[in-house]
Amino acid sequence: MTVSELRDLRERKEKEHGRQGPGTSQVQIIIGMGTSGIAAGAKEVMKTFSEVLEEHEVQNAQVRKTGSLGLDHAEPTVEVAAPGMPRVIYGQVDEEVARQIVERHILEGELVDKHVYDRPAPDALTE
Amino acid sequence: MGYRSYCLVCSGDKCKNEASREVYKELRHVAEARGVDREVQVVRAGCFGLCRSGPIVKLLPDETLYVGVQPDDAQQLVDDHIAGGKPVERLMLRDEDCMPHLETVRQTGFYQKQVRLVLRNCGLIDPDSIDEYIARQGYAALEKVLTEMSADDVIGELKASGLRGRGGAGFPAHLKWNFTLQEVRRQARENPDSMSEVSIVCNGDEGDPGAYMDRSVLEGDPHSVIEAMAIAGYTMRARRGYIYVRAEYPLAIARLEHAIAQAHEYGLLGRNILETGFDFEVEIRLGAGAFVCGEETALLASIQGERGTPWPRPPYPAVVGLWDGPTVINNVETWANVPLIMLRGGEWFSRIGTESSSGTKVFALTGKVNNTGLVEVPMGITLREIVYDIGGGVRDGKEFKAVQTGGPSGGVLTAEHLDTPIDFDSLSALGSMMGSGGMIVMDEDDCMVDVTRFYLEFSVDESCGKCAPCRIGGQKLHSILSRITEGRAHDQDLENLDAIGNAMQHASLCGLGQTAPNPVISTLQSFRDEYEAHIRDRRCPARHCKALVRYEIDPEACIGCTVCARKCPVNCIHGERKAVHWIDQEECIKCGECYAVCKFGAVRVS
């Protein structure tokens, strides 16, 4: 890869993965899959999301993984971005809460009570 | 579908503030009465930290944060903000409550007291996707360095940044890098035909009990470390880098391997990187879990396939390191800062944190604190802000006693130090150290002598045995501490602890032995009374040391409810229903279960 190819790639990927901008037509379900998340059950949660999304025939949702947000007291954590909704981080997500996130948050536009957590901090790249 | 806005009310399970539950109920009630309950959804959210200013209410999507909200305020919040669209100024967080030391990264309503430099991508990107890393300025620093900067420029930026090593001792990174660069240049000048190989090493041998900052970075953002090492490779004319990770971190290793392979595929590692003629490879070396291998010379020996024992310095690895060549060795967190410094400039970085300790520090906040986890805070923040404003305070509303920092090489900070700004120098001055960033909160139930005994047990286990002060001194300290916790010690032992610790600090070969007595010396300073109580009164003030504790049932207070007898795991509590119970002291294992379950305060600890 040359320098200019890297720059082009970055520009393209910035648009594709732009994380802060609203107006995404896709539902993004991003699961914290660091060691602490996995220890708390993130793998089962990921499986549940796929199953429940399929059950409700939700087509426009993507289930992805990320590293640890650092909220170890609230693992597993899941960030949900859905069109027309604020981005929200859910904590202490077990299989039941994962189901509620799909059925209430994604399908009904309602937050799941008692599981919303605040983003721990702004980061130096998106300030 | 959906609501126009969402109203989050802080409400942790462990929260002792009843008011937030009332605020939640009142907000729901008022919203319904006003007929806006289809426009706003009021929900209970996890702890926001900032408990001193609680209860907290946050409105989404506009992100307005209200503090110190009382049930009476619900009407105004609904009328003015939710129905009227006009924020309630008097309940908003004031600027002076926001974070100092952060002019360059402050944004409106910056109330969280954290800012993420090192953890900038953790929890945001897929660590297995190089594309997502690239989308967030990934490899932009390497690109900049390769196309626009000389080796001296790189070191100049590093110097301007004031970055100090995050592995423990806080040695200025630019000095290390410059020593190596000067040695490389000397060799190139004096014997260009037989130059020794230059190496770049990442120390990922994170071994302090309770520390997992590096693991999170490697698992969440492996490319940031690889990119930083390539930058150093270019600067020091090295062709090879090694990441030393402990084998106990299988996920970090898998993600690193994947990241290295991807970087190769994209031509960001390997030959002729970005077609600039620069070649650089990164290899992973697995550590078998010996704590001493976190010490830089022992780590290098281990990479060389030798037994992981330290060698005396000088010469320092910067000059004579891996395979006798000049070597730059930094820890994971230090590396993760480097791309950002090259991108934003050293001057930008230096404005975060304090004058002598710039930037941020990642701490693993654990122990008796409500919100355990990784926090990244600007240097200069106080312990109080970390424990209370981020950590949500001590669990179960108990009394804060101390924080242990620096692991087995560190010491304790007490309530008296809650308002001391935390940086490298202030912690050393207090007899603790930054260490790699473990921060264990202790409450009134923790016995400081026993905690210290635990750290010594760790150091004794991990001593490599090469030098006598560490090998024998550590054993001696540990056996004295054990005697104290068992109530078999005498006054002379306190002096012995001091004398042995002193000798170890001065005569041990490497950092492990030199710092192993630190927990003893630090707790002797701050909690001498606890040591004395164990020795002179045969009493453990925290009621923790089993040999010194006795559980008894007060016949005046016992109503014979039988709960304690049923909960006792060894069935040593006897007595008829509605009659006074008694504990068989011979059988009692001092687990404290009866004390915890008695609702009448009839179980006494002495």
Give the domain ranges of chain B. 5-97, 130-348, 360-443, 448-536, 550-605
Interval B172-203: pLDDT, tens: 999 999 999 999 999 999 999 988 999 999 99
CA dist B355 and B423 (Å) reads 10
Domains: count for chain A: 1
Beta strands A88-90; A116-117: pairing state: antiparallel
Mean pLDDT over B250-266 rounds to 97
Q: Which helix (H) or strand (E) holds B281?
A: strand B278-287
A81 occurs within a structural domain: yes
Residue that the structure tokens 């900067």 belong to: B149
Identify the CATH number of the domain in which residue A83 sits.
Answer: 3.40.30.10
Does B315 sit behind a cis peptide bond, omega within 30 degrees of 0 on the bond before it? yes
A71 lies in a domain? yes
Of A38, A71, A86, Cβ closest to residue B6: A86
pLDDT above 50 for B332: yes
Inside any domain, residue A15: no
Q: CA–CA separation, B363 vs B386, rounded Å?
A: 9
CA B431, CA B448: separation in Å to the nearest integer?
Answer: 15
* CB of B219 closer than 8 Å to CB of B255: yes
Determine the residue type at B360: T
Asked if the model's pLDDT at residue B554 lies above 70, the reply is: yes
Give the alpha-carbon dihedral of B313, B205, A124, A15, to 10 degrees. Answer: 130
Are B130-348 and B360-443 the same fold in CATH?
Answer: no
Tally of CB atoms within 10 A around B76: 15
A interface mutation test: which of B125, B352, B441 has the most A CBs within 10 A?
Answer: B125
Cα B309–chain centre separation: 26
Q: Are A122 and B6 an interchain contact pair (Cβ–Cβ within 8 Å)?
A: no
Distance, CA of B484 to CA of B135 (rounded, Å): 57
The superfamily CATH assigns to domain B5-97 is Glutaredoxin (3.40.30.10)
Q: Are B369 and B391 in contact (CB under 8 A)?
A: yes
d(CA B56, CA B59): 10
B460 is written with which tokens? 């004794």
Classify residue B552 by its DSSP letter. E
**A63-105 confidence digits (pLDDT tens):** 999 999 999 999 999 999 998 899 999 999 999 999 999 999 9
Residue B353's SS3 state is strand
Beta pairing partners, B442: B402
Q: Is the pLDDT confidence value at B519 over 90? A: yes
**Which residues of chain B are within 8 Å of residue A32 when distances are taken between CB atoms?**
123
- Tell me the pLDDT tens digit for each residue of B466-508: 899 999 999 999 999 999 999 999 999 999 999 999 999 999 9
Contact assignment for A10 to B125 by CB distance below 8 Å: no
ipTM for the complex shown: 0.94
Give the model's pLDDT for residue B439. 93
Residues of B in contact with A69 (CB under 8 A): 122-123
A35 and B112 within 8 Å at the Cβ level: the answer is: no
Residue B272, pLDDT above cutoff 50: yes
Best B119, B149, B248 member to test A by mutation, with max A CBs in 10 Å, is B119
Task: Give the H or E element holding residue B190.
Answer: helix B173-190
Would residue A1 count as lying in a domain?
no
On whether the CB atoms of residues B551 and B590 are closer than 8 A, the answer is yes
Task: Tell which residue, B511, B428, B498, has the closest CA to residue B470.
Answer: B511
CA-to-CA separations, B80 to B91, B166, B501, in angstroms, rounded: 12, 48, 64
**Mean pLDDT on B87-114:** 63
pLDDT by residue (tens digit) across B581-591? 999 998 999 88
Q: Is residue A11 assigned to a domain?
A: no
Predicted local distance difference test score (pLDDT) of residue B104: 40
Alpha-carbon distance A55 to nearest alpha carbon in chain B (angstroms): 20
Nearest Cα residue to B527 out of B428, B605, B411, B423: B411
The CATH number corresponding to B130-348 among 3.40.50.11540, 3.30.2350.10, 3.65.10.10, 3.90.1150.10 equals: 3.40.50.11540
Q: Could you tell me the two tokens for B463?
A: 């001593």
DSSP state of A114: T
Q: Which residues pair with B3 in a beta bridge?
A: none
Residues 6+ apart with CB under 8 A from B138: A10, B130, B132, B223, B224, B227, B339
Residue B100 CB neighbours (<10 A) = 13
Please tell me the predicted confidence (pLDDT) of residue B106: 43
Is there a contact between B215 and A1 if contact means CB atoms under 8 Å apart?
no
Range of lowest pLDDT (B111-125, B151-165, B451-465): B111-125
* A74 occurs within a structural domain: yes
Give contacts of A 48-107 with B, CB under 8 A. Answer: 64-74, 77, 79, 84-86, 88, 91-92
Decide if A23 touches B, using CB distance below 8 A: no
Residue B12's nearest CA partner among A66, A70, A74 is A74
Compute the distance between CA of residue B424 and CA of residue B513 in angstroms, rounded to an integer. Answer: 20
DSSP characters for B404-424?
EESGGG-EEEEGGGTTSBPSH
The two tokens of residue B520 are 């003893």
The pLDDT of residue B109: 42
Q: Which residues contact B317 (CB under 8 A, 6 or more apart)?
A: B201, B296, B297, B300, B327, B328, B329
The pLDDT score that the predictor gives to residue A23 is 45
Cβ atoms of B555 and B563 closer than 8 Å: no
Q: Are B160 and B346 in contact (CB under 8 A)?
A: yes
Run of H or E residues at B452? helix B448-462
Region B388-408: mean pLDDT is 91
CB nearest to B41's CB, from A68, A73, A110: A110
Domain that includes residue A77, residue range: 24-117
What is the rounded CA–CA span in Å between residue B244 and residue B256? 11
pLDDT class for B107, splitting at 50, 70, 90? very low
A113 touches chain B (CB under 8 A): yes
What is the assigned CATH class of domain B360-443? alpha beta
> What pLDDT was estimated at residue A127?
54
Of B115, B374, B375, the CB nearest to A122: B115
Whether domain B448-536 has CATH 1.20.1440.230: the reply is yes
Tell whether domain B550-605 is in CATH 1.10.10.10: no
Flag whether pLDDT at B110 surpasses 80: no
Cross-strand pairs, B287? B246
Residues in CB range of B531: below 8 A, 6 or more apart: B449, B484, B494, B523, B524
Q: What is the pLDDT of residue B313?
A: 85
Q: For testing the chain B interface, which of A4, A9, A13 should be mutated: the one with the most B CBs within 10 Å?
A: A13
CA angle B493, B497, B500 (to 5 degrees): 125
Query: Phi, psi (5° rounding) for residue A92?
Result: 50, 50
B102 confidence band (pLDDT: 50, 70, 90): very low
Residue A90 DSSP symbol: E
List helix spans (H) across A69-117. Answer: 95-100, 107-108
